[in-house]
Structure 1
Amino acid sequence: MLGLRGGDYINGGFAWTRPIRMAGFQIRRDFATRPDIVTMPSPRLAATAAAPSTLELYVNDSRILSRPVGAGPIRIDGLPSAHGYINVRLVLADAAGRQVAVDAPFFATPLLLRKGLADFSAEAGFARRGFGVESADYAGSVIGSASLRYGVLDALTLEGHVEAGAGLVQGGGGATVQFGGLGVVSASAAVSHVDDRSGALAAVVFDSRFAGFYISGMSMRASAGYRDLASVTSRPSFYRNWKMAGDEPPRAIHQVTISSPLRLAPLMRGGDAPVASVSYSAQTPAAGPRRQVWSGSLRHTLADRVTAYVTGYASRGERRDAGAFFGISIPLGAAGSATAGVQAQGGDTFGFVEASRAETQADGSYGWRARIEQGARQAAEVQGAYRGRNARVSGAVQYADGATRGQVQVEGAVAWLGGVSATTNRLEGSFALVEVGAPGVPVLYRNQKVGRSDRNGRLLVRNLEAFDVNRLSIDNQDLPLELEAAQTERTVTPMAGGGAIVRFGVGKSPPAVLLTLHRPDGAFVPPGAEVIRAGVAERAIVGYDGQTFLTGVTEDGDLRVVLEDGAECNARLVLGAAASEGGRHVVDAVCR
């Protein structure tokens, strides 16, 4: 489970480090090569059935499993766990109606690794600066960094991080601890030394659920002398104390968010419980005033997927600002929605109406968005996108305050596999070049149609799961009569970002005959009779209306027919008198 990358990349790190872009080499643990491994701890349940019983498993009150079990101990492990709080409940019920229930509240988070798992990355190279502004702007000093996480227990993960280069030596570590179903807390500290300055950093991150409230936050403080690779490799951008200073770490960051569903009966009629949240964040930069933001929101999904929301915020720093938003969203079919609302910000108030349709990854899909604003400002915007077989085309026209501008964008890719080139939409993951062998044949991925083969009998299928089994198939009902497929279903396991060729072996069908057998009196030969050809081991079975299908027939010949009662008759197969339908002959013969 190792990955090696060369070129431009982002170095590894944690919540208390600042990642940078680098050019060089990186080696890292790549769990994507083993999709079967669950890296986060998952809840475990154990119970004992005194008699044969029915086991039911619930996750957040939704039943995910029901099956009969025998008497004896029962252990449930390896359950998939989403991020956040979940409650797992195991119920055993015997034939007499007696029940045994076991509850296991659990808080799942990617901050924890399963016991015994290790995750790491190490990189060395040169820092890239001015990304998105300047091309090929790399610092001249060689730098390196390394990160390591290890699951000591399911409830305890240790981590460490070091950086060096450009005169800097920095290192730190931390631990993440789970407190049952209450949540997790992560604490870390780091020290640095560069030139004649030394400094330290401390951080705490927590994510919890208590009394129905979801609470998450972080607090991080750094001393005036603390530095990292992001600061020592950045370009000096401003003067401070008569010296040029770069991108120094902030002196303090504080964030906290509290959210909870409001389970009030009058508000839950015909819909879900509304969700309210409040948050606060503050940052003290190395230079300049402290910035603070308070915000709150309330979101309520009513009947028929109609959603109402209200949001407000207030900020304080270099300047004070406040704003509020209110809107209602209504679904338009399965893929569209319409929203109307009012927004007040910076002393200006305006209303807006917006409608949109979501685009999918399937070829031939399209999406659009239209928005009009009226009030303190006049604005309008129209966007559209179409995803074809070979490219994605999108465009937009915007009008604001008397100015109009527009843009058109075309995205696509060219893949070269096995000496064959194929144009397609932008490739952002694994893919497969499917060679059907005939044009216009539907290709399916996980039983969902993704396109038809082109005039050369090929289709490039995107967005496959890397290092996992991907099932591709074709619909052979759309094959021409003179063609047949050696296989109609194939599996492929591509590498991350790599491609594979999948061939279905479509070719010319062997010469075949649809034969209808009659008795001398004109009646059909009864079903179940067997047709025997000289030199052919396999016998053909007669179906209804005296019909049977013979393959590999290239010339006229004699047939022996054995009826179910043991009686026999003989027929002469004459191809010359047959009518051809798609390469298959249709023949009538009399069995005497």
Structure 2
Amino acid sequence: MRPRLSITTPRHAERPHVLGAFIHAALLAGVSGTAVAAETSVNDEAVEFDSRFFPTGSRAAADVSRFGRANVVLPDVYSVDVYFNGERKGQRDVRFAVIDDNMGARPCIARNWLIEYGAKAGDVTLPASRSESPACETIDQIIPGATANFDVSDQTLELTVPQVYVNRLPRGYVPPELWDPGIDAGLLSYRASSYRTTTGRSSTTTSYVGLDAGANLRGWHFRHTGTLNAVSGNGIRYQKNASYVHRDLPSMGAQLYLGDTYTDGSMFDSLRVRGVRLARDQRMLPGSRNGYAPVIRGVAATNARVAVTQRGISLYETTVPPGPFVIDDLYPTGYGGDLDVTVTEADGRRVEFKVPYAATPNLLREGQTDYAVSAGHLNEVEQVERPYIAQATLRHGISNNVTGYVGGVMSRGYGAYQFGAAFNSRIGALSADITYARANVPGLGVSNGHSVQLRYSKTFSESGTIFALGAYRYSTASYLSLLDASRLRSLYRQGNDIHDYERIRSRFELTLNQSLGDRRGSLFLSGSAESFWNAKRNSVTYSAGYSTTIRSATVGIGVQRVRTALATTGRSRTETRAQLTLSLPLGSAPRSPYFSSEVGHETSGGRHVRAGISGTAGSMGQYSYAGSATRRGGRTSIEATGNYAAPVADVSLGASSDGEIRTASAGVSGGLVVHGGGVTLAQTLGETIAIAHAPDAKGAVLSNTRGAKLDRRGYGVVPYLTPYQMNEVAVDPVGTSLNVEIKATSQRVAPHRGAVVLVKYETVNGRALLVKTRADDGQTLPFGAEVLDHQGQVVGVVGQGGRIFVRDGGDSLTLTVRWGAGAGQHCEIALPADLPKTSGKTLTTVTSSCARTTPVATARSH
């Protein structure tokens, strides 16, 4: 392996070989303004360097003319922000290589990147095998007329591709051919806890273990969940929760489940069944098509700029040609709020109009379809009846503002169907539906009934008010849901009287949020009410509150009132709770602890006062703690908890006491993955995960985790990925040996749902050396002179004082320094063969002369 100069990226900035980046920056200092490395252009103007700034003693000055061009990038891998036709696509590690000596290093572009960013696949042909792909392809070699411009100061790479080669794709689109199905693997996630309660001389210990096990095999995902419970003196009991197999069907945009699953709950009650389920997965859509947002249509007279804002916040901006235009890839924004559209023509004329935008759960974008089909045996835990059921639901975006939906459910002696529609209008978002049901229950006969439901929401942009009627449902006395009918059959078979079976009559939910402006806080109000057939009981709950921020402190006040009528007597009971809260940081440091306090009053519990402190510690927030004291009813209780996110598990401890009852708890959670490389432990496992593999890079930290690291074999788990979307999986080499270099610290993957994707990182092993050298006549080597390895590859430049950073690969111990094309404008550095062994935590310094003959060299570690 050849020696290699490591030009550090921002992720390596903390490591000793930052010298390479410093040398590069020093050279760039001679260029006025922003240095831009671009594809060759005949219009590039050369910059002349003043040789007086490069003293060389008796040696000839180095030829730094190559840095006078726009492209002043040295060969290496850089972590850059990539833009494609002006749109940011995220961060990526890009290799720069010398293609032409007269042009310097240029970015190497992978063909699949361009397809991912939106280039037409027919114009970007992927090689049949990796061996057919050139070592480095520039973007103009892949697509005619395409350019790549690298801004050194901002570390941004702008890729520009002619529109004729670009698909018009919605934002967030990832081509299905780039979706990664993952590898075969076994998975186990666990959550274990033990809780001990002591009262006087007696104590009770309760233990719990939750298990989620699975295996991925050729695209099929087998899953099993269960719990293990143990109570002092009662033995151990295991309860199986669910077992199923799942796989995605990208061609249908759907998910298939076999085994224990749930029916769709958007129209009917979600029921647990053992059978089969096929459902559309909206996550397979581009991010900008997931969720509801209106389509914007307009007409431009010239090449115009179209800007879309909401409550003063910019949501979208694009340029359109003359004629009609359509914007159909807006990201959803919660409850909504009218959109302000501004069309600015080329001559300065402006046209402004509003597009109503409000959302309810049933709204779909124009042309979109959502469906779910389930069939199997009812498998509710508390149900004796296990009838066969079948359910289907369908929603379709009929137009920009109207969505229709229909569904049906059937079982033995039961049938129900629903019709409904959702509307987006200037007065808000509204949905209305009606469900008809017919049930034949022994002992009750045939019941025919219906249930009506309304939903409404509206955001008033001018006042900052968000109003939502969560749901209003009214059901007739003879209406039975499928679960009601099944329960009545079970009760009848057990000999119970079912004529007085209580069921929901009406339900009402309301929320209101009001912003009071900057620094004035916000108000909220919510309420709900329920009433039942065949029962005197009903309940009404409402709450109100206010919160604001005063400097760094957060203050809140809230009131909740619950009124419940007892089923036996019909007499009502009212419970009122009120509380005042305060939270503020104890310092200005990023991880300063927070102090919190609360004063409250409850009708049944009286007054209470609580004060506590909480916070996080550690370089990555891997430690967390909390402690509080509460005074209630003349008794004081104290509790404390602590958590440590270890690289392979989460560990927690807790304790509390109120003078009479003492508790102590301990818990641990984590996971493991069995794969072709062995067994890898993890802090936790999500539904979709990645295994990062960087050989010999033990100790590297996985980004976006709480301190998870690569193990001794270079494997680590990234526990949470978003399926079908591009995820950045990055490793930080800060904890690795200096003798290991990770060539590219960031990769992007788009996994299938439930997949275990293997993300490989190329590493280079070699001792990290800082070479201090002079010419054999004692003169300092020219600043900026090129350093080449035994293969003639440029691996860096000479820095100030004749310092060079290299990585010793062991194949060759000779470096060549060249500062011109003349016969006498180069020399050789022979590195010592007996370099001292190091732990990889220190940098080895080598002192060697540079001569045409074999020089004498010495080495030491520091």
Q: Does 1:9 align with 2:261?
A: yes
Aligned residue number for residue 252 of structure 1: 505
Q: How many Å apart are 1:518 and its aligned residue?
A: 0.2
Aligned residue number for residue 589 of structure 1: 850
1:257-406 superposed matches below 5 A: 257-261=510-514, 263=516, 271-284=519-532, 286-304=533-551, 305-318=553-566, 319-332=572-585, 336=594, 338-346=596-604, 348-355=605-612, 357=614, 364-368=622-626, 370-375=628-633, 379-399=637-657, 402-406=660-664
Q: Does 1:42 align with 2:298?
A: no
Asked whether the 8 Å contact 1:58–1:90 carries over to 2, the reply is yes
Aligned residue number for residue 543 of structure 1: 798
Question: Residue 692 of structure 2 aligns to a residue in which SS?
Answer: strand
Aligned residue number for residue 824 of structure 2: 568
Distance 2:435 2:358 in 1: 24
Q: Which runs of 5+ in 1 are unaligned?
A: 132-136
Asked whether the 8 Å contact 1:569–1:591 carries over to 2, the reply is no
For these two proteins, the number of residue pairs brought into alignment is 575
The one-letter code of the counterpart of 1:296 is: S
Distance 1:586 1:510 in 2: 15
Aligned residue number for residue 207 of structure 1: 456
Out of 462, 469, 472, which is 2:726 matched to?
A: 469
Cα gap change, 1:341/1:516 in structure 2, threshold over 3 Å: closer, same or farther? same
Q: How many Å apart are 1:338 and its aligned residue?
A: 0.9
Residue identity (%): 18
Cα gap change, 1:174/1:68 in structure 2, threshold over 3 Å: closer, same or farther? closer
Cα gap change, 1:337/1:252 in structure 2, threshold over 3 Å: closer, same or farther? farther
Aligned residue number for residue 506 of structure 1: 763
The one-letter code of the counterpart of 2:608 is: G
Asked whether the 8 Å contact 1:260–1:277 carries over to 2, the reply is yes
Q: Does 1:110 align with 2:361?
A: yes
1:48-447 superposed matches below 5 A: 56-64=307-315, 76-91=327-342, 100-130=351-381, 139-195=385-441, 196-209=445-458, 214-234=467-487, 243-245=496-498, 250-261=503-514, 263=516, 271-284=519-532, 286-304=533-551, 305-318=553-566, 319-332=572-585, 336=594, 338-346=596-604, 348-355=605-612, 357=614, 364-368=622-626, 370-375=628-633, 379-399=637-657, 402-445=660-703
Distance 1:344 1:512 in 2: 69
Out of 438, 447, 459, which is 2:716 matched to?
A: 459
Asked whether the 8 Å contact 1:54–1:66 carries over to 2, the reply is yes
Question: Residue 463 of structure 1 aligns to a residue in which SS?
Answer: coil
Aligned residue number for residue 526 of structure 1: 782
Asked whether the 8 Å contact 1:3–1:28 carries over to 2, the reply is yes
Distance 2:613 2:407 in 1: 45
The one-letter code of the counterpart of 1:110 is: P
Aligned residue number for residue 72 of structure 2: none
Asked whether the 8 Å contact 1:208–1:215 carries over to 2, the reply is yes
Q: How many Å apart are 1:429 and its aligned residue?
A: 2.1
Cα gap change, 1:360/1:104 in structure 2, threshold over 3 Å: closer, same or farther? farther
Q: How many Å apart are 1:243 and its aligned residue?
A: 3.8
The one-letter code of the counterpart of 1:127 is: L
Asked whether the 8 Å contact 1:232–1:246 carries over to 2, the reply is no
Structure with greater strand percent: 1
* RMSD between superposed Cα atoms in Å: 4.1
User: 401-410 or 242-251: which moved more?
Assistant: 242-251
Distance 1:562 1:419 in 2: 44
Question: Residue 381 of structure 2 aligns to a residue in which SS?
Answer: coil
Asked whether the 8 Å contact 1:434–1:501 carries over to 2, the reply is yes
Per-residue CA deviations over 1:398-433 (Å, capped at 9, x if unaligned) read: 556944444433322222122521222332321122
Out of 241, 264, 284, which is 1:33 matched to?
A: 284
Asked whether the 8 Å contact 2:520–2:548 carries over to 1, the reply is yes
Asked whether the 8 Å contact 2:366–2:398 carries over to 1, the reply is yes
Q: How many Å apart are 1:303 and its aligned residue?
A: 1.5
Cα gap change, 1:320/1:400 in structure 2, threshold over 3 Å: closer, same or farther? farther
Distance 2:384 2:487 in 1: 10
Aligned residue number for residue 739 of structure 2: 482
Asked whether the 8 Å contact 2:300–2:322 carries over to 1, the reply is yes
The one-letter code of the counterpart of 1:197 is: V
Per-residue CA deviations over 1:159-214 (Å, capped at 9, x if unaligned) read: 22222224322222222222235222322222223243122222222223377551
Distance 1:225 1:360 in 2: 59
Question: Residue 375 of structure 2 aligns to a residue in which SS?
Answer: strand
User: 237-246 or 6-15: which moved more?
Assistant: 237-246
Q: How many Å apart are 1:242 and its aligned residue?
A: 7.6
Normalising by the residue count of structure 2, what TM-score does the alignment of the two structures yield?
0.59
Q: How many Å apart are 1:21 and its aligned residue?
A: 1.6
Per-residue CA deviations over 1:312-337 (Å, capped at 9, x if unaligned) read: 31414113113031212213366745
User: 356-365 or 202-211: which moved more?
Assistant: 356-365
Q: How many Å apart are 1:462 and its aligned residue?
A: 0.8
Distance 1:485 1:380 in 2: 48
Per-residue CA deviations over 1:356-413 (Å, capped at 9, x if unaligned) read: 6478997824243535132377655444433323332334445569444444333222
Q: Which runs of 5+ in 2 are unaligned?
A: 1-252, 567-571, 839-843, 854-862
Q: How many Å apart are 1:12 and its aligned residue?
A: 0.8
Cα gap change, 1:283/1:359 in structure 2, threshold over 3 Å: closer, same or farther? farther
Asked whether the 8 Å contact 1:353–1:372 carries over to 2, the reply is yes
Q: How many Å apart are 1:250 and its aligned residue?
A: 2.5
Distance 2:836 2:343 in 1: 65
Distance 2:771 2:732 in 1: 22
Aligned residue number for residue 134 of structure 1: none
Distance 2:372 2:406 in 1: 11
Question: Residue 306 of structure 1 aligns to a residue in which SS?
Answer: strand
Per-residue CA deviations over 1:132-151 (Å, capped at 9, x if unaligned) read: xxxxx774432222222222
Distance 1:74 1:116 in 2: 17
Asked whether the 8 Å contact 1:144–1:163 carries over to 2, the reply is yes
Asked whether the 8 Å contact 1:112–1:154 carries over to 2, the reply is no
The one-letter code of the counterpart of 2:740 is: L
The one-letter code of the counterpart of 2:822 is: G
Cα gap change, 1:369/1:512 in structure 2, threshold over 3 Å: closer, same or farther? closer
Q: How many Å apart are 1:438 and its aligned residue?
A: 2.6
Asked whether the 8 Å contact 2:471–2:510 carries over to 1, the reply is no
Distance 2:497 2:642 in 1: 46
Q: How many Å apart are 1:275 and its aligned residue?
A: 0.9
User: 208-217 or 577-586: which moved more?
Assistant: 577-586
The one-letter code of the counterpart of 1:416 is: V
Cα gap change, 1:220/1:139 in structure 2, threshold over 3 Å: closer, same or farther? same
Distance 2:788 2:682 in 1: 51
Cα gap change, 1:571/1:185 in structure 2, threshold over 3 Å: closer, same or farther? closer
Asked whether the 8 Å contact 1:349–1:376 carries over to 2, the reply is no
The one-letter code of the counterpart of 2:603 is: Q
Asked whether the 8 Å contact 1:466–1:495 carries over to 2, the reply is yes
Q: How many Å apart are 1:28 and its aligned residue?
A: 1.0
Q: How many Å apart are 1:531 and its aligned residue?
A: 6.5
